[in-house]
Amino acid sequence: MDRKTGMRLGDVLKNFGTYLFTALFFFPIYWLLMASFVGLRDMVAHGFPLVPPSFTLESYRLFFKHPDVWNWLWNSIVVALVSTGISLVLSIPAAYALARLRFRGRELMGRLILFTYIVPSVLLLVPVFLVMTKLKLTNTLQGLILTHVTFSLPFCIWMLRGFFASIPSDLEDAGRVDGCSRLGVISRIVLPVSGPGIAAAATFTFTLSWQEYLFAFTLMSKQNMKTLPVAIAGFPAEVMDQVLWANMMASSVIATLPVFILFLYLEKYFVQGLTAGAVKG
């Protein structure tokens, strides 16, 4: 066997590995998708087959008949989007300061930031609930947004700090010599160059908020204030028949869609090496 076929064999194995892992990760999603298209009668007969005998949108129709469904969707979208926005607006300047400005306690602060994740979030459940009750923020979107931001902010700051620190400081100096103020440097140079970092921070926050269950469940007890994950999990208590399962599958597909679209849209920003060519080496 010569070198060339040896390399090819390596490629084949590598590709096989890639396919295998992709298949493993996508299987549950595939199954979920298929199950959501199974008609009620088929479900009684076959359970959840990998290839349904017939396709129907019955489950989706059932789901959208629920009187609160638009509220749930709206709640989820607003909470996730606003949490993401607030997280970015707060974490960008904080991360920049930690990465670039010289001030007392900068190192310590940079390190302590991730320590906020040491406490398991379950332990925070009761205190957060009590605080939100005191502030009269239970069953409000603001309350849940505030909670989600407190969870995403440290990670966003930490990640963006690393990203900003990796931008060559000469690039900023060039901007300052060319005529930018400090803020001008941030808006005209640092942010445009930080696309991948900001996209990653945004995706992280959005996904975290979109799928968060524990706090949404605790803080949002009113039926019309629930978010999608809480609502979906709440079906069993509400409708106790086989409709239940179909409903859960269809709603889960719908709940997955925005995140999926978000990833597709942001993918191009994750492209490595956006700063390539800025500096030598």
Partner 1 sequence: MARVVLENVTKRFGSVVAVNNASLEIKDKEFVVLVGPSGCGKSTTLRMIAGLEEISEGNIYIGDQLVNDIPPKDRDIAMVFQNYALYPHMDVYNNMAFGLKLRKVPKDEIDARVRQAAKMLGIEELLGRRPKALSGGQRQRVAVGRAIVREPQVFLMDEPLSNLDAKLRVQMRTELVKLHQRLQTTMIYVTHDQTEAMTMGDRIVVMKDAVIQQVGEPLEIYDNPDNVFVAGFIGSPAMNFMEARVGYDEGFYLEVDCHKLKVPPEVEARLASLGDYKDRKVIFGIRPEDIKDEPESFGEGCSINAVVDVTEPMGSEIYVYFTLGNAELVARVPATSGVKAGKSHPFSFNMNKLHVFDIETEKAIR
At its nearest, how many Å lie between partner 1 and the CB of residue 103? 14
At its nearest, how many Å lie between partner 1 and the CB of residue 255? 35
- Taking the C-alpha atoms of residue 114 and residue 226, their distance in angstroms, rounded to an integer, is 30
Q: Return the number of the residue (4 or 280) whose C-beta is nearest partner 1.
A: 280
- By CB under 8 A, is residue 179 in contact with partner 1? yes
Q: Return the number of the residue (111 or 176) whose C-beta is nearest partner 1.
A: 176
Q: Which of 125, 184, 214, 269: binder of partner 1 (CB under 8 A)?
A: 184
- Taking the C-alpha atoms of residue 124 and residue 127, their distance in angstroms, rounded to an integer, is 5
**Which residue, among 119, 110, 140, has the nearest Cα to 226 in the 3D structure?**
140
- By CB under 8 A, is residue 105 in contact with partner 1? no
At its nearest, how many Å lie between partner 1 and the CB of residue 110? 19
Tokens read off for 104: 């007392």
- By CB under 8 A, is residue 176 in contact with partner 1? yes
- Taking the C-alpha atoms of residue 254 and residue 248, their distance in angstroms, rounded to an integer, is 10
**Run of H or E including 182:** helix 182-185
End-to-end CA distance of the chain, in Å? 39
Q: Return the number of the residue (39 or 168) whose C-beta is nearest partner 1.
A: 168
Q: How many CA atoms lie within 13 A of 250 on its CB side?
A: 23
- By CB under 8 A, is residue 56 in contact with partner 1? no
At its nearest, how many Å lie between partner 1 and the CB of residue 147? 35
Q: Return the number of the residue (85 or 184) whose C-beta is nearest partner 1.
A: 184
